[in-house]
A and B are shown apart, each in its own frame.
Chain A
Amino acid sequence: MFSNNKKIFLIAFLSAILILPACEKQLEEYNPSGLTAEGVYTTPAGFETLVNGAYSYARWWYGKEEGYGLSEMGTDLWLPGVDNRNPEIMLYNNLQSNQAFLESLWGQFYQAINLCNAGINGIQESGLSASLKTVREAELRFLRAFYYWHIVETWGGVHLSTEATVGPQTTANRSGVDAFYQLIFDDLNVAVANLPNTSTDYGRATKPAAEAFLARMHLTRGNYRQASDLAQKVISSYGLSLQAKYGDLWSMSNLKKRGSFGRQLLCGSEQQRPGQLPPTLAGTPAAGITAISCSQ
C-alpha cells in the first residue's frame, strides 16, 4: 500500500507523463471563417463594411414583397387575384404575428438596428479619421432613425434599444411610441448637424436627406411649423425642386433621381446629383417615403 504522500507523488508523476509531451507543440489554428465583430469593426475597412451593411437592410422594405405587402396590399390600391397567397395581408383577415412578411421584416429591422447600435457605440474604436467618424456616425444615426420609424409605425410601442447585443438576450422590452420618436429626433438632429450637403458616394445619406426626413417626422408628430420650415429649407437651399407631377417619380426615365433618400422624401429634383440612394434601392418605388412630399 502507498502512503498518502506517495499516492500524490505517483499521481503527479503519472499526470506529468501524460501531460508534458502534449504541451510541447501548440495547436496552430487558422480559421478564416472565425471573424469576430471585435476584430472587424476596429479596422477602418471593416467598419466601412458595417456602415454599408446597415444601408442594405432598407431593401427588405423597399425592394421586396414584404415591404409593399405591409405598406400597400391592405389598401384599396390593390385587389386580390384568384391565387392571392396572402389574404391576411390583403384583407386583414385573421392577421397573426407569425405572418411571414411580418416575421421577416421584424427580424431584418432588428438586425439592422443591432448593426447601427454596434456602429454608433463602437465608432471611437473604428480607426477612422476624426472627420470621417463624425460623418459615418451621422449616417448610422440617420439609418437607425429610419429603421425605428418603420418599426414604430408598423408595430407601435415595441422593443427599443440603443445597445448592441453582446450576449444572449432573451427578453424584449416595451417602449412607448414617444420614446421611439424621442430617439428618432435625437438621432436625426445629430445627422442633420453632421452630414455633408452632398456625397461623392452614390447612395449615402446627406444633410438634405436628413432634413427632409426630419421634416416628415415633425409632420407625423404634429409639429407643423418645424415641418414646414425644414421642408422649405430643403427645397430652396440645395438646388433641389419638386417634380412637376407626382407620377413622374415612377417615370422610367427618372430611375436614379427618384431614389435618393432625400429626394424620395421630397419628390425628387430635376437635376441628378451624386449622393443618392443605395444601389439596392435603385429602381424600386419607395412607397412609404415618397408619399410624404407632394402633399405639402
Chain B
Amino acid sequence: MSTTYNLGLDFGILNNRLFGSVDLYDTRTSDLLLDRFLPLTSGVGFITENIGKTRNRGVEVALTAVVADKKNFQWNAGITWFANKEEIVELATGANDIANGWFIGQPTQAYYDFEKIGIWQSNEVDEATKYKQAPGDIRVKDQNGDGVIDANNDRIIIGSNRPKWSGNLTSDFKILNFDFSFQVFARIGQKFQYEYASVYDPAGVENSLQHDFWTPENASNDYPRPNASRSRIGTLYFTSLTYEDGSFIKLRGMTLGYTIPEKVLSRFGVSSLRLYVNGRNLLVSSKIKDYDPERGGSLSNPIPRLIVGGINLDF
C-alpha cells in the first residue's frame, strides 16, 4: 500500500518560449511484499512476506525551450532531470536483515560485501601474512582495523544499483531543408556487478577474457594471482572484484535529415521526400572501458551501436 504526496508546478514564460514543470514527491509504502530468504535449516528456503516500509522521495524537472522559431531556422531544446531516493524505513524483523540485503536507510537492493582495495603486493608479505594471506591475493579493507577480516565487522554497503540521478538533454534543429537532432542521456551514482570481472577464472580452466592479473612480475592491483587449484568460489573475497561504478553519460541518438524541396519533387509526382541518417548509442563515457553500462553489468545481449540510413517517401 502506498501513499504519495506530490507537489507540482507547471509554468510557461516568455510567451511560452520557455516552459516546463517541477514535481516533488514523497511516496511511503507499507506492507511491501517481497521474497524473504530464511536459513535453510528451517527446511523452507524463502517465504513471500510483508517485509516492511519504504519511502521514495524525489524531484522531477522538465524544461523545454523554443530557442529560435524563424522561417528558415528552428531550434527546440529540452532537459529532463530526475532524482529519487529510495530507502527502507522499517523492517518487519526490526533490525537490518543481512541475509536478504535489507538495511534501514538503504534501497531494497543494496550490495553488502567486503571492500576491495587492491592485491597484496610482493613487498607486503609481512602485512599480508597477518591476515593469513599472501602476495597475489585479493586485499580487502579491514574496516574496523582489528587485524582480522571477518564477515560481521568488515563488510560494508558498497552501494546500490539505484542511480542518484538521471538526466536527458534533447535538441532539434531545422535549418533550411536540413534537420538535425540529438539526445544525450546520463545516469549517475549507481553500482552494479560487472560480469566481466566475475568470469575471471583463477584456475584458467576455460577460455576467458583479458584480465590484468597479478604475477610476481606484474604488480597488478586488478585481479588476483592465477592458481590451478583454486576455483572462483574458493578464492577469498572473489565477489569484491565485481562491483563497478555504473555511472555513464551517452549520446543515445542522433539524426541528420534532408528534405528535398517540393519544386524539384512535383515533376516526379512525389509529394515529399526526406533522406536521413540515424545513429543510436553512438558514444558512451563511463569508467568502464569498451562497455555500455546502461546494460547493467551483464555481458550477454550487449547494447548495439546502430547506424541506419533511410528514405521517407510520400506520394
Could you list which residues of chain A lie within 8 angstroms of chain B, going by C-beta atoms? 80, 82-88, 91, 93-96, 98-100, 103, 106-107, 110-115, 117, 158-159, 161, 164-165, 168-172
Would you list which residues of chain B between 36 and 76 have a CB under 8 Å from chain A?
A: 36, 38-45, 47, 49
Cβ contact within 8 Å between B36 and A88: no
Given A113-B43, A159-B41, A169-B42; A87-B49 close (CB under 8 Å): no
Cβ contact within 8 Å between B233 and A88: yes
For A118, the closest partner residue in chain B by CB is B43
Top 6 A-B residue pairs of the complex, sorted by shortest distance between their CB atoms: A114-B43, A169-B42, A88-B234, A159-B41, A107-B40, A172-B41
Residue numbers in B under 8 Å from A100 (CB-CB): 233
Shortest beta-carbon distance from A79 to chain B in Å: 13
Q: Mark B182-208, 1 if CB is under 8 A from A, else 0.
A: 000000000000000000000101100
Residues of B contacting A: mostly: loop
The CB with the most chain A CB atoms within 10 A, among B36, B42, B44, B49, is that of B42
Known interface pairs A103-B40, A114-B43; 20 further A-B residue pairs with C-beta atoms within 8 A, sorted by A's residue number: A84-B203, A84-B205, A85-B231, A86-B231, A87-B203, A87-B234, A93-B229, A94-B235, A106-B40, A106-B41, A110-B41, A110-B42, A112-B43, A115-B43, A165-B44, A168-B38, A169-B42, A169-B44, A170-B93, A172-B41
Would you list which residues of chain B between 11 and 59 have a CB under 8 Å from chain A?
A: 36, 38-45, 47, 49
From B42, B205, B206, B234, A93 is in contact (CB under 8 Å) with B234
Cβ contact within 8 Å between B38 and A169: yes
Shortest beta-carbon distance from B40 to chain A in Å: 4
B236 at the interface (CB under 8 A from A): yes
Within the assembled complex, what's the spacing in Å between the Cα atoms of A103 and B39? Answer: 11
From A161, A168, A171, B47 is in contact (CB under 8 Å) with A168
B230 at the interface (CB under 8 A from A): yes
Residues of A contacting B: mostly: loop
Residue numbers in A under 8 Å from B41 (CB-CB): 106, 110, 158-159, 161, 169, 172
For B47, the closest partner residue in chain A by CB is A168
Within the assembled complex, what's the spacing in Å between the Cα atoms of A103 and B205? Answer: 23
From A83, A96, A99, A161, B205 is in contact (CB under 8 Å) with A83
For B231, the closest partner residue in chain A by CB is A87
Within the assembled complex, what's the spacing in Å between the Cα atoms of A200 and B178? Answer: 87
Shortest beta-carbon distance from A286 to chain B in Å: 24
For B40, the closest partner residue in chain A by CB is A107
Residue numbers in B under 8 Å from A80 (CB-CB): 229
Q: Mark B211-247, 1 if CB is under 8 A from A, else 0.
A: 0000000000000000011110111100000000000
From A98, A111, A165, B233 is in contact (CB under 8 Å) with A98
Shortest beta-carbon distance from A147 to chain B in Å: 11
The CB with the most chain A CB atoms within 10 A, among B40, B206, B229, B235, is that of B40
From B39, B45, B203, B234, A96 is in contact (CB under 8 Å) with B234
Residue numbers in B under 8 Å from A84 (CB-CB): 203, 205
The CB with the most chain B CB atoms within 10 A, among A85, A93, A168, is that of A168
Cβ contact within 8 Å between B43 and A168: no
Given A83-B205, A110-B42; A168-B234 close (CB under 8 Å): no
Residue numbers in A under 8 Å from B205 (CB-CB): 82-85
For B236, the closest partner residue in chain A by CB is A94
For A160, the closest partner residue in chain B by CB is B41
From B43, B203, B228, B229, A110 is in contact (CB under 8 Å) with B43
Within the assembled complex, what's the spacing in Å between the Cα atoms of A164 and B43? Answer: 9
Residue numbers in A under 8 Å from B36 (CB-CB): 168
Within the assembled complex, what's the spacing in Å between the Cα atoms of A171 and B93? Answer: 12
Within the assembled complex, what's the spacing in Å between the Cα atoms of A170 and B36? Answer: 11
12 A–B contacts, CB within 8 A, in A order? A83-B205, A84-B203, A86-B231, A103-B40, A107-B40, A110-B40, A111-B40, A111-B43, A114-B44, A159-B41, A161-B41, A168-B49
Within the assembled complex, what's the spacing in Å between the Cα atoms of A285 and B140? Answer: 44
Within the assembled complex, what's the spacing in Å between the Cα atoms of A115 and B231? Answer: 34
The CB with the most chain B CB atoms within 10 A, among A94, A96, A112, is that of A94
Cβ contact within 8 Å between A87 and B230: yes
Cβ contact within 8 Å between B39 and A172: yes
Within the assembled complex, what's the spacing in Å between the Cα atoms of A95 and B93? Answer: 32
Given A84-B205, A168-B49, A170-B93; A93-B40 close (CB under 8 Å): no
Cβ contact within 8 Å between B231 and A88: yes
Residue numbers in B under 8 Å from A161 (CB-CB): 41
Residue numbers in B under 8 Å from A85 (CB-CB): 205, 231
Residue numbers in A under 8 Å from B39 (CB-CB): 169-172
Within the assembled complex, what's the spacing in Å between the Cα atoms of A82 and B39? Answer: 35
From B38, B44, B45, B230, A94 is in contact (CB under 8 Å) with B230
Shortest beta-carbon distance from A61 to chain B in Å: 16
Within the assembled complex, what's the spacing in Å between the Cα atoms of A170 and B51? Answer: 14
Within the assembled complex, what's the spacing in Å between the Cα atoms of A99 and B235? Answer: 11
Residue numbers in B under 8 Å from A99 (CB-CB): 233-234
Shortest beta-carbon distance from B133 to chain A in Å: 11
Cβ contact within 8 Å between A96 and B233: yes
Within the assembled complex, what's the spacing in Å between the Cα atoms of A69 and B236? Answer: 21
Q: Mark B119-141, 1 if CB is under 8 A from A, else 0.
A: 00000000000000000000000
